Amino acid sequence: MAIKTTAFGYPKIGPNREMKKAIESYWKNEISKEELYKRLEEVDAERMSKVINANLDYIPSNDFSLYDFVLDVSTMFDVIPSRFRNIEDSLDRYFAMARGTDNAIACEMTKWFDTNYHYIVPEFEGGFKIVKNRPLTSYKWAKEKFGVETKPVLVGPFTYIFLGKVYERQEGSLLMKMIKAPESEKFRPLVLEIASLYNGILLELQREGVKAVQLDEPALVLDLTEEQIQTLIDAYKVVMHDINNLEVFVHTYYESLDNFEKITRELPVSGIGLDFVVNNENLENIKKFGFPTDKKLIAGVISGRDPWKTDYKEVLSLIDEILKYVPEENLILSNAAPLFHLPVSLEPEKGHLDSDLIGLLSFADERLEELKTLKEIINEGKDIPVQTLQDLRDKFKNEKVREAVKDIDNQDIKRPHEFKERYKKQIELLGLPRFPTTTIGSFPQTKEVRQTRAKFRRGEISKEEYDRFIKEQIKKAVEIQEEIGLDVFVHGEFERTDMVEFFGEKMEGFAFTKNGWVQSYGTRCVRPPIIYGDVSRPEPMTVEEIVYAQSLTDKPMKGMLTGPTTILNWSFYRKDIPKKEIAYQIALALREEVLDLEKAGIKVIQIDEPAFREGLPLKKRKQEEYLNWAVKAFRLTNNTVEETTQIHTHMCYSEFNEIIEWIYKMDADVISIEASRSKGEIIEAFERFNYDHGIGVGIYDIHSPRIPPVEEMLEIAERTIQVIDKNLVWINPDCGLKTRQWEEVIPALKNMVEVTKILREKYGDKYDW
C-alpha cells in the first residue's frame, strides 16, 4: 500500500497574468467573447498540465474562474439579484454582478476568511435551480483534452450559504435590509434547500463515472453553534443521498476543527481534509479522539499560504505521528490551504532575488514538486534532500532592531492628549468646514504612469526625468482637486506601484519578487513583499513628494502611509519570530516617517489599515491577543506627534461589528470606511457603539466603473448623520482611486462634493461644538 497525494487551488492567473490581460481586454472591447474563451482555455490548460505532471493521485478540476469561485457557484445555482436579471448575456451578467453597471450597484465584496482574497457575497432573494453543472463540464473537458480522471472541486453548501446574505424586512418598516445568512432564521432552510441541488450535481457526476469530488468547507473551522453543526450534518445527509460510487471529500482549512469528534464521525462523507500547517491543534485532536476508520484523511501538510520552503524532516515526522492513528491506505497528503495564495513559480526569481533567500522559498509550482518529493520519499525510499534552512535564516538577523521592540508589550502606548480637545484644535488649525471632503489616497494610475515607471525601472529614463514626470502628475492631481472643490488633498501616489510594496522597497528586511503575482480579487493582482529579516527604515520614504504637493496648494495635504498591521498581513512574513514582533518593528520604522512628515509641516497624516481585521484569528478565543498587539502597533506609529497633527486611518471591505471597540482603541482622529457596496450597513456598527471620533463615510464605490448619482450617495450620508455627531462626519470614496480612470473619477467626485453642499445647506457648514 502506498500513500496518495492530491492538491487544490492552483493559481488561476497564469504565469504572466494572462487571465487578467485577457479579461480586461474583453472589458475594453478589444477582443471578442470567443477570443476571451480561447485565451482563458489556454491558461487553464497550462494549469492542468502542471498538476498532472505532479504525479497526483487525485487531480483537481473545476478550480478555474473568470472572476471569483463563489460567484461561480451563485451563477451555477441561479442566485442572481433581481437588479441584474435584465442582462440577457450570461457572461456580461456575471461580470456585472462583480463590477456593477450604470444602473445596478455591484454585489458586495468582502474578505475570504482571514486572507487577502476577496469574494462576491451571494444575495439570497429567492430559490435555487441548477443552471449548469460546472463541475461536470470541467471534468469532461479535462478527460477529453488530457485523458485523465479528475476530482472536481466546488465550494460546499454549508460554506456557500454561510458566506451569503439574506434580505429581510426591517422591524416596523416596509424596507428590506440584508443580514448575514447565519444570523437569519432562513439559514437552516437555505442550507437544506441548496443541499438537494448539490445532491443533483453529485448524482450527475456519479452517472458520468467520476471517482471523487472535493467540497471545500472552510466555514467548519469557525466558532459554530450546536444548531449550525446539526444543520451541516443534516445537509450532508441530503447531499449524499444515493451517492454510493463517488468519493466525496470535505476539505477544511485556515484553522483547526473545533467540533472535531462530532463532525469527523457523523459527517456522512468519504474523507475529511484537515489543516496540519496552521497549528498543531488538528494533530492533538486526532491524538485525543482518533480518526474514523471508515473515512480517508486528506492531511494538509504542505503550506498553501506562505512561501517558505517545506522542511522535509519536520513534515515526515508529522506524517509519522499521523500514521499512528490513521492507516496508510486511508491517508492522502495535500497542501493545507489553496495554492492560489501563492505566486505561480519561483523560476523567474532566480537571478533576481538573493540566492540565500531563494533557498528558503517555494511557490505554487514548487509546492507541487514538494508533494511529489514527499510521495517518492515515503513510497519509493528516495533520500531526504539535505536542507540548511535555519542557517540561511540566521544570516538575516539584526540584533539592534530586535532589542528596540523587546519591551514594547510592557509599555502603555498612547497619545497624551484627549481626542475631543485635540480634534477641535486640529479643525481650527486646518480651517475646515463641517462635512469635510477628501479622498483615500491614490488617483488613477494611467497607462502613461505605468509605462513611465516601467521605463524608469528598466533604466530607459533617468531618475531626474522620472522625478520630473511624477511632479507633473502630482501638480495635475492638485489642480483637479482644486477644481472639484475638495477640502483635504492627497498627492495621488503616482510614484507608488502598490501601497505595501512601495514601503517595503524602502525598508530593510523586505524582498520583492519580479513576477510573484497573487490574485486579490477578479483581475486585481498584487505582488506581496517577502519579510525575510528584521525591519528598519534607512531614510525618509515619502517626505519629498508630500512636501512638494503641499507647496502647490493652501489646502491641507495628507501624508499617506500604510500601517504596520496591513504591511504585515499583506506580506509573506517570516515564521521564525512572533508575528507581533514584526508588527512592532514596522511600526517603529513608520513612526520615524510620521515624525519627519510632521517636522516638514504636514498636519494631516493618514496611516491606512485596510487589513487590520483581515489578520483577525478565525477563532474568537484567539482574537483578543491579536487585537491587543495590532492596536498597540498602530498607536506606536503616531503616539509621539503633536496634538494638532491629525491622524487618519482607512479600512475597507471588512466586518467591523465585532471589533468596533478595538477600532476605537486605535484612537485615530478620523477613520474612513466602506459604506457604498453594503448600502450603508456598516453604519450599524457605529449605531450600536458610541463612536465619538471622526468618521469618513465611503459613499462612492470605487471598485465599479459606474458614476454614482448624487441621490445614491446622499442617502448613505444622511443615514450616517442620523447616528454620528455631525461635527465628526467626513465625506469620501470608500477606497483609493488607483484602478479607475479620470473620466470616471472626476464626475464621481464632483457628485460627492455636491452631496456635501447639500448637507451644509441643510445642517450648516459651521461646527457647533
**The amino acid at 435:** F
Asked if 76 and 134 touch (Cβ cutoff 8 Å), the reply is yes
Q: Tell me the C-alpha to C-alpha distance, in Å, between residue 582 and each of 89, 396, 427, 542, 578.
A: 49, 13, 34, 21, 7
CA angle at 683 for the pair 678 and 686, rounded to the nearest 5°: 150
Quote the strand ranges of 217-322, DSSP E.
247-251, 271-275, 296-302
DSSP 393-448: HHTT--HHHHHHHTTGGGS----SS-HHHHHHHHHHHHTPPSS-B---SB----HH
CA distance 369 to 264: 30
Q: At what angle do helices 312-322 and 281-289 cross, to 10 degrees?
A: 20
Rounded to the nearest 5°, which phi and psi values hold at 478?
Answer: -65, -45
Rounded-to-5 percentages of helix, strand, coil across the chain = 45, 15, 40
Question: Does 341 qualify as catalytic in the annotation?
Answer: no
Selection from 106, 19, 28, 37 nearest residue 71 by Cα: 106
Q: Tell me the C-alpha to C-alpha distance, in Å, between residue 231 and each of 128, 295, 513, 763.
A: 18, 21, 45, 50
- Which residues share a beta bridge with 166? 124, 179
CA distance 67 to 701: 18
CA distance 584 to 568: 10
Active-site hit among 251, 491, 648, 703: 703
Asked if 107 and 73 touch (Cβ cutoff 8 Å), the reply is no
410's CB contacts (< 8 A; 6+ apart) are none
Task: Name the residues annotated as catalytic.
Answer: 703
